[in-house]
Amino acid sequence: MVAVIQLKIPKRLFYSGVALYIVLRLILVDYGAVASKRKLEEIPLECDSVINGTEDSRAFSRAVQWDWHFNWVEDEIFKAKNVCSVIEKYFNFAKEAPTIEEAEYPLAYGLVVYKTIVQVLMQLSLFYQPQHLFCITVDNQSSDQYKAVIEALPKCFPNMKVFIGEPSNWGSFGILNNVYTCFNWLAQSKQKWEYYQYLSGTDLPIRTNLEMVRIFKALNGSINTDVSTFEVDRYKNMEGVLPPMPIYKSSMSVVVPRNASNYLVSSPRVQKLLKYLSKTWIPDESFWSTVSGSPALLPVPGSIRVRDILWLRKNFKLRPPFENTVNSIGTSYIGRYQVWGWQKECFGKVKDYSCLFGVGDIEEIMTRPELVAHKLYLDFQPAGFMCMFKEIRRKAQSPDAGKFSAKSYAEMPTVELYQGKAITQLTHPHWLVRDSFFNPSLEDFDKEVL
C-alpha cells in the first residue's frame, strides 16, 4: 500500500509541473514575435560547411540530401484573398534602408519570371529596398494563378510595376522584348535611380545591397556588359541584310547607368536594332554589347569601343587571371556568374548547357566578384539556395558590412576605357582575355605568355 502511494505522488507533481509550464507559456509568450518565427529564411539549417567548406564528409552529405518542400506555402499564396498578408507572414522585406549611403543611392531592377512563386519572392526579398524601383514582366505562358499573384505585388509594394509579356521561349525575341518592356518603363519613370540591373527568376545575389551600391559607384557611369564575337549563324533570316550598327554577342545580364538608359529608349537607331534583332537567333544575347559597343555610331553615355577589346584578344596573348575575388576582379564582366557545361566541373547538374548550381558550388560562388549567381533552384539541392540566402542576409546585417571596399572594381578595363585610357594603357589588360562563354579546352597559352 505504501509503495502505491509513493508512485502516485511523483505523477501528481509531474502533471502539476506540466500544467504550470503551459500556463506560464500562455502568459509570458511574446505573440508579437510569433509571425517573425514563421519566416521561411529562418528555417533551421547548418550552413557553415556549405559556405566555408569542410573536411567533414558527413556534414556535406547531409547538406546535399537536405530537402524542403514549399508546396504548402505556394498553395497558401495562391489561395489567399490577401496576398500581401501571406507575403508579410513568410518573407522579410526591408521596411527602410539600412544605411544613409544606401538610402541615397537607389537602384532599378528589371525581372523576367515565369514559375516558382516562392523562389521569386525569396529572391525579391533579398534585393528589395524601399528606395529601389522594380519592374517585373511575367511570361504570358505562366499559369493564371501565378500571373495573378505577381500582378498583386504592386498592392503590397508601391515601388513595383508588373507587365504580362510575351512567351519567353529560348532563342526567341520574346525574351528580349520582355526585358526591354521593363527597361523602357524604368528609364521613363520619374523616380530617381542610379543604375539598372537585369535579373532572371533563378538569380541570387552574391553581394549585399551596400556592396552593390559601392560597386556601382566604382563603375563611375560606365556600362557593364559581356563582350564577345557575334556568331554568323545567329543572323538567321537577316543574313546579307546590313544591321543598323555592328552586332556583338553578350550575356543577357547587364548593368546600365540612368543617363545611358534615358538615351537608349529615346534613340531611333535602337528601335531599328530591335526590329532587326527580332528576326535573328537568340537576340537577347545580342543587344547590350551592341548598343554600348559603337560610340561613334551610337554615343551612349558609359559606352566603349567593343572592337578594341576584340582586337586585343586577337593580337595579344595574355594569360587569363588566376584569381577572381572582390580584391582582384580578374574580369571586366560582373553582371552575373554563370558556368557553362564545357567550362568546369558542375557540382549540381547541367541544364540547358548551363550549370544548375548545387551545394558543392556554393563555397566558390561566395568568393566570386560578380553581382549575382545564375542559376539556382529552390527545388534542387535546396540547401545550396537557402545557405547562400542566409549568408547574404547575415553579411548585410553584420557590424563589418561597412568595411567593404570596391577599389578593385574601379580598375576593371571597361571602367578605365570609358574614362579615356587607351587599350594599351590598361592597369589589368589580362582581365579582358576571356568572355563569359570561354571554352578552356580551346585555349592554347604559351608558357612564356605574360
Mean pLDDT of 40-64: 87
Q: Cell numbers 498583386 label which residue?
A: 152
Pairing of strands 203-205, 372-374: antiparallel
Which of 424, 230, 419 lies closest to 316, judged by CA?
A: 424
Cα distance between residue 359 and residue 46, in whole Å: 12
Q: Cell numbers 518542400 label which residue?
A: 69
Mean pLDDT of the chain: 90
Length of the chain: 450
Nine cell digits for residue 129: 529596398
Which of 232, 225, 228 lies closest to 179, judged by CA?
A: 225
* Residue 89: Cβ-neighbour burial (10 angstroms; 0-12, 13-18, 19+): middle
Other C-beta atoms closer than 10 Å to the C-beta of 244 total: 19
Cα distance between residue 334 and residue 280, in whole Å: 26
pLDDT score, position 60: 83
Mean pLDDT of 290-306: 97
pLDDT score, position 21: 54
pLDDT in tens, 153-192: 999 999 999 999 998 888 889 999 999 999 999 999 999 9
- Sign of CA pseudo-dihedral 407, 408, 413, 415: negative
Residue 96 has pLDDT above 70, yes or no: yes
**Most distant CA pair in the chain, distance:** 106
pLDDT in tens, 8-38: 556 565 556 555 555 444 444 333 333 445 7
386 or 53, which is more confident: 386
Cα distance between residue 229 and residue 60, in whole Å: 40
Mean pLDDT of 234-240: 89
CA 99 to chain centre: 22
Mean pLDDT of 332-350: 96
